[in-house]
């Protein structure tokens, strides 16, 4: 997309003469209202669209342990015509019980014979950078050499390392590979050279340059895109993945701890959820497990918000429920999680955390009970969780579910029952057309101020329809989300948190669109919706400033939307302004109660048209560029470009 450049400073200077008529925004700059939750704007992470394996988790080898039901999925036997021998999958004497399958390469030595891995729809490698190869290897017969090679997508050899003197028992071998070229579709091969047989398992390749250079860590560019947003919280690990299509496939956090070799693979529910987007090679390795989620939160300064299964499988699938008399296991999981996150290093679960390298508590303050549940079966389960957790851990705020829709009968019932149960925070979800978001920008103005608070835990404007593969990340969608977010912000006394969903998608292997951030094996692309989230999160402010917006009817488009907050640290007034008209719109801003104003900044997100699909920030890091802004006084005019979102900071004093 040719995004229209940010308007030149001279135009945005806003020293435009004060106009008569037009829209007027009155900001009670001298009367700050509700305090804004410091963790108001966060992110929702789910292993959907190859978000974890093939995404955030930087492992480049798919099916590294040969544990997919088709053990050689992702692998190709390399057997040139001259090669004599075979590759078989075996389970006798594996190196780890949780990883029973391994491959045996038997070569007669006539030519190199072995396996090559395709990565997660392409293995991205960069010229000259270090890649940490490791594998479990056992020499069975002969004195073969193991050749580890990186091939480019065109078959060119990018790097070769030979491993000799292989031991007769299982042994972890390592090597550093430095590809001669950058390639988005590289392959990793392990080949036996010479006569002999070798067992291989847990074949792994990680970039050395991961987030914080942690071996076996997370993709640095993807984490950076999160860190750039300064999210207040990270909700994890989902999403429907928490529930599982049946209870045996639910997310069980205890199975995601300890050495990665011991984390048992589970099929990803998004593997088979959508017949129109099948992803047969989608499994959860749990290399990104609960410890890593907590660590990620700590790294980027976000509060952890884990969501646990409440004894209910996905109600869109089997709707299997755990009988109430067996619910204690689930409740115990929640209690143990609190201990894992916050308990002393000497406690049972605190010791597990400490053994993984983090003796200090993670400081978890919130916990979700169930994902997108609804109906009486949920409320009776939530009630039992809440009774125990509130008694043992009153310091933890519980997040409960309001179902999948923002206004249907299930939603109404959820609010009335959860209100009776004195729920802390209710998680509302909404995937709807941009119109819904524009027309619900005042939804929370009328909410009951007593009782549970709101967590808008999943929302995203859908350009076509929910779960439609043609949905795109249009500017219109982003603007409708921004308009809606002005409503969340104005009502920050009742809306405590919000997160867009889903977060990440692999361009080659997605199931759900739209998504906030798109990635391929080498790149990260930010969407207009990302820019909106970023601008809200980085301009959170501390107190809501009441606003009153009067605007003329008859504009082409949906009008203007506004909110304002006070940054107590700097004394700045921050304005968030959406112009959903298809023409530039003049707005007079009246900072009431401010005697003097100081220069500040202005940032504008705009595009060629509301249907523009990519972002001015893409593939750059953060939001559209920030410019200086010189208000003419406490009353000033600003020209808002057609179909745009603008954030203005000005210094103001009484
Ligand atoms: O965000 C995608 C899915 O939408 C989530 O997994 C689920 O909670 C919702 O239905």
Which residues are CB-neighbours of 250 under 8 A, at least 6 positions away?
242, 243, 244, 309, 313
Whose Cα sits closest to atom 7 in ligand 1?
239
**What is the best residue among 44, 46, 427 to mutate for testing ligand 1's pocket, by most ligand atoms within 8 Å of CB?**
46
- 17-35 residues labelled b (16+ CB within 10 A) or e (exposed): eeeeeebbbbbbbeebbbe
Distance CA 548, CA 563 (A): 9
Beta strands in 178-308 (DSSP E): 183-193, 195-207, 233-236, 266-267, 283-284, 303-308
What was the pLDDT predicted at 425? 98
Ligand 1 contacts CB of residue 515 (under 6 A): no
Ligand 1 contacts CB of residue 46 (under 6 A): yes
Angle at 343 between CA 341 and CA 345, to 5 degrees: 105
Give residue 310 CA to ligand 1 midpoint distance, Å: 16
Which residues face 111 on adjacent strands? none
**What is the best residue among 512, 513, 514 to mutate for testing ligand 1's pocket, by most ligand atoms within 8 Å of CB?**
512
Ligand 1 contacts CB of residue 371 (under 6 A): yes
Of all atoms in ligand 1, which is nearest to the CA of residue 240?
A: 6
Which residues are CB-neighbours of 110 under 8 A, at least 6 positions away?
82, 83, 84, 85
Which residues are CB-neighbours of 315 under 8 A, at least 6 positions away?
243, 372, 373, 374, 375
Give residue 1 CA to ligand 1 midpoint distance, Å: 29
Of all atoms in ligand 1, which is nearest to the CA of residue 404?
A: 10
Domains of the chain, with CATH numbers? 9-36+542-653 (2.60.40.1180), 43-58+210-538 (3.20.20.80), 75-207 (2.60.120.260)
DSSP state of 119: T
Closest-CA residue to 637 (of 15, 8, 6, 29): 15
Distance CA 150, CA 341 (A): 40
Counting as low any pLDDT under 70, the low residues of the chain are: 1-21, 553-554, 614-623
Q: What is the largest CA-CA distance in the chain?
A: 91
What was the pLDDT predicted at 22? 83
What was the pLDDT predicted at 614? 61
DSSP state of 39: T
The pLDDT tens digits of the residues spanning 594-639 come to 988 999 999 999 988 888 776 544 443 335 778 999 999 999 999 9
Distance CA 543, CA 546 (A): 10
Positions annotated as catalytic residues are 372
* Residue 606 near residue 644 (C-beta atoms within 8 A): yes
- Both tokens of residue 576? 């968030």
Query: How far, in Å, are 19, 32, 34, 492, 548 from residue 574 at the CA level?
Result: 22, 12, 15, 15, 15
Ligand 1 contacts CB of residue 427 (under 6 A): no
Helices 528-538/475-490 angle, 10° precision = 20
Give residue 457 CA to ligand 1 midpoint distance, Å: 10
The pLDDT tens digits of the residues spanning 129-139 come to 999 999 999 99
Distance CA 575, CA 569 (A): 16
Ligand 1 contacts CB of residue 238 (under 6 A): yes
Of all atoms in ligand 1, which is nearest to the CA of residue 431?
A: 4
Query: How far, in Å, are 147, 162, 181, 420 from residue 177 at the CA level?
Result: 12, 11, 12, 60
């Amino acid at each position: 997309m040719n995004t229209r450049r940010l308007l030149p400073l001279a135009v945005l200077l806003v020293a435009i003469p004060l106009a008569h008529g037009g829209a007027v925004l009155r900001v009670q700059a001298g009367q700050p209202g509700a305090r804004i939750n410091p963790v108001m704007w966060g992110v929702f992470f789910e292993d959907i669209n190859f978000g974890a394996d093939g995404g955030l988790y930087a492992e480049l080898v798919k099916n590294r342990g040969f544990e997919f039901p088709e053990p050689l999925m992702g692998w190709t036997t390399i057997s040139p015509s001259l090669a004599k021998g075979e590759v078989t999958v075996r389970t006798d004497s594996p190196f780890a019980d949780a990883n029973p399958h391994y491959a045996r390469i038997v070569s007669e030595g006539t030519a190199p014979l072995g396996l090559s891995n395709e990565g997660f729809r392409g293995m991205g490698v960069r010229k000259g950078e270090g890649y940490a190869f490791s594998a479990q290897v056992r020499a069975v017969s002969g004195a073969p050499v193991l050749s580890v090679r990186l091939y480019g997508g065109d078959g060119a050899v990018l790097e070769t390392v030979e491993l000799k003197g292989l031991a007769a028992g299982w042994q972890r071998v390592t090597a550093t590979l430095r590809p001669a070229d950058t390639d988005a579709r590289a392959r990793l091969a392990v080949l036996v050279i010479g006569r002999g047989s070798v067992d291989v398992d847990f074949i792994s390749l990680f970039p050395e340059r991961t987030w914080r250079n942690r071996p076996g860590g997370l993709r640095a560019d993807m984490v950076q895109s999160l860190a750039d947003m300064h999210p207040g919280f990270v909700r994890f690990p989902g999403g429907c993945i928490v529930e599982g299509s049946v209870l045996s496939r639910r997310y069980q956090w205890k199975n995601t701890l300890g050495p990665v070799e011991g984390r048992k693979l589970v099929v990803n529910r998004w593997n088979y959820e959508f017949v129109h987007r099948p992803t047969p090679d989608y499994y959860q390795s749990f290399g990104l497990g609960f410890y890593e989620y907590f660590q990620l939160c700590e790294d980027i300064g976000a509060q952890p918000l884990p969501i646990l299964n409440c004894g209910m499988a996905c109600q869109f699938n089997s709707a299997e429920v755990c009988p109430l008399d067996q619910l204690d296991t689930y409740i115990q999981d929640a209690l143990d999680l609190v201990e894992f996150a916050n308990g002393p290093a000497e406690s049972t679960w605190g010791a597990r955390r400490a053994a993984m390298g983090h003796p200090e508590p993670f400081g978890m303050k919130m916990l979700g009970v169930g994902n997108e549940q609804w109906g009486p079966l949920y409320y009776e389960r939530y009630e039992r969780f809440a009774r125990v957790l509130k008694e043992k851990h009153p310091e933890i705020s519980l997040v409960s579910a309001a179902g999948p829709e923002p206004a249907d009968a299930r939603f109404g019932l959820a609010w009335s029952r959860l209100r009776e149960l004195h729920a802390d925070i209710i998680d509302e979800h909404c995937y709807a057309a941009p119109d819904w978001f524009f027309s619900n920008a005042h939804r929370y103005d009328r909410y009951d101020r007593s009782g549970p608070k709101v967590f808008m835990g999943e929302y995203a404007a859908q350009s076509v329809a929910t779960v439609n593969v043609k949905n795109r990340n249009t500017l219109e969608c982003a603007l409708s989300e921004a308009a809606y977010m002005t409503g969340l912000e104005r009502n920050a006394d009742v809306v405590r948190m919000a997160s867009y969903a889903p977060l990440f998608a692999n361009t080659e292997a997605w199931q759900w669109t739209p998504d906030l951030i798109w990635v391929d094996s080498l790149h990260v692309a930010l969407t207009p919706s990302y820019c909106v989230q970023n601008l809200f999160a980085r301009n959170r402010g501390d107190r809501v400033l009441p606003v009153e917006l009067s605007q003329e009817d008859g504009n082409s488009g949906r009008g203007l939307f506004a909110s304002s907050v006070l940054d107590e640290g700097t004394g700045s007034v921050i304005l968030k302004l959406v112009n959903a008209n298809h023409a530039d719109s003049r707005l007079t801003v009246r900072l009431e109660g401010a005697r003097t104003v100081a220069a500040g900044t202005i940032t504008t997100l705009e595009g060629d048209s509301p249907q523009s699909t990519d972002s001015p920030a893409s593939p750059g890091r953060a939001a559209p560029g920030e410019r200086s802004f010189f208000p003419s006084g406490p009353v000033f005019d600003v020209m808002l470009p057609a179909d745009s979102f603008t954030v203005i900071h000005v210094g103001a004093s009484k």
